[in-house]
Amino acid sequence: TAPVSPTDCLFCRIVAGEIPATVVRETGTTLAFRDIDPKAPVHVLVIPKEHYADVATLAQDDPGLTAEVLATAAAVAEDEGLLGDGFRLMFNTGAYGGQEVFHVHAHLLGGAPLGPMLA
Ligand code: 5GP
Ligand code: ZN
């Protein structure tokens, strides 16, 4: 993966502290912060600090880091009280997936019934 300058990527800039975000969990390799335009009562984005464009690239290049992103998402789900009622964890990927920010991020959504996935 080509190196990406933090100035070129919104979420790299959040990792660098150049753009403020409401961080709910941080590990050595991952960061979780609240979505600026929440689509559910709980809407948290979970990212690797290292830049990967999308989940396919991340999973192919670094399966261990992929697992760390999922583990951070699970820990946030527990912190937010979502484990009992359930939640949605999704990666929008590429044009058809509706991805708008090309630094891989898991959307953690919960706190209310979310309905059918594409509604
Ligand atoms: P995508 O469509 O790429 O899967 O989702 C990008 C998400 O990033 C959207 O849900 C959008 O609300 C969120 N977002 C965009 N800009 C910012 C920002 O500056 N800060 C935060 N916290 N979230 C952002
Ligand atoms: Zn980035």
Question: What are the tens digits of pLDDT across the range 64-107?
Answer: 999 999 999 999 999 999 999 999 999 999 999 999 999 999 99
What b/e string do you get for 66-100 counting C-beta neighbours within 10 Å, with b at 16 or more? bebbeebbbbbbeebebeeeebbbebbbeeeeebe
ipTM of the complex: 0.99
Domains, the chain, with CATH or none: 6-110 (3.30.428.10)
**36 alpha carbon to ligand 1 midpoint, in Å?**
6
**56 alpha carbon to ligand 2 midpoint, in Å?**
15
Classify residue 43 by burial, with Cβ atoms within 10 Å: 0-12, 13-18, 19+. Answer: middle
Overall average pLDDT of the 12-37 stretch: 98
95: Cβ below 6 Å to ligand 1?
A: no
Q: Please give the distance of CA 24 from its chain centroid, rounded to a whole number.
A: 12
Q: Is the pLDDT of residue 11 over 80?
A: yes
The pLDDT confidence band at residue 2, using thresholds 50, 70 and 90, is low
Of the candidates 20, 40, 50, the one whose C-alpha atom is nearest the C-alpha of residue 89 is 40
pTM to 2 decimal places: 0.95
